[in-house]
Copies of this chain bind each other. A is one copy, B any other.
């Protein structure tokens, strides 16, 4: 039997999937689990905390698979390109497949920056790891942490939730990402 906390998150996520984030009340989640809503407050201090936990788990499903990409044995330049492509593809797929959950994430991101900041810090860490190895092996020039921030900023059009959602997919978009990646990879090489 799954821990109660995870079963609550599962039920909440399923309801958000089906009815959209605005229509899901704590009472609904409790009813789906056959318990009183008061009991839910034994496991989460508030509705906001519950929703944030759902979002955090969902963000983890983006950043966790990326960690494997960041550890691959390729040379740093190819690894960096692969990592950015994987990040952009993951966000795009999530948004197209689960617009309701994504709306919940965006709404929470406005109110509570916490989950998002942790997610961004995780992404920055992975990217800095690739860049540090690139600097060590002589492919890149600069300070890995600063370069990671610059690469994240320069590719935000392809992974920032709001940008991905309003842009909508398409082949032009993939081509644009390749063009930006080509510029960045040339810019990262030693002078």
Residues of A within 8 A of B (CB): 110, 146-147, 149-151, 153-158, 160, 162-163, 166, 176-177, 179-180, 182-189, 191
Contacts known (A187-B186, A191-B186); A153 close to B166, Cβ less than 8 A: no
CB neighbours of A176 from chain B (8 A): 149-150, 153
The closest CB in chain B to the CB of A176 belongs to B153
Q: In whole angstroms, how far apart are the Cα atoms of A186 and B190 in the complex?
A: 10
**Chain B residue with minimal CB distance to A190?**
B186
Other A-B contacts than A110-B166, A153-B176, A183-B184, 5 sampled, CB-CB below 8 A, are: A146-B179, A149-B179, A154-B183, A157-B160, A183-B183
Instruction: Report the minimum CB–CB distance from A4 to chain B (whole Å).
Output: 35
A157 touches B153 (CB 8 A): yes
The residue among A146, A154, A157, A163 with the most chain B CB atoms within 10 A of its own CB is A154
With A157-B154, A163-B156 already in contact, the answer to whether A187 and B182 are too (CB < 8 A) is yes
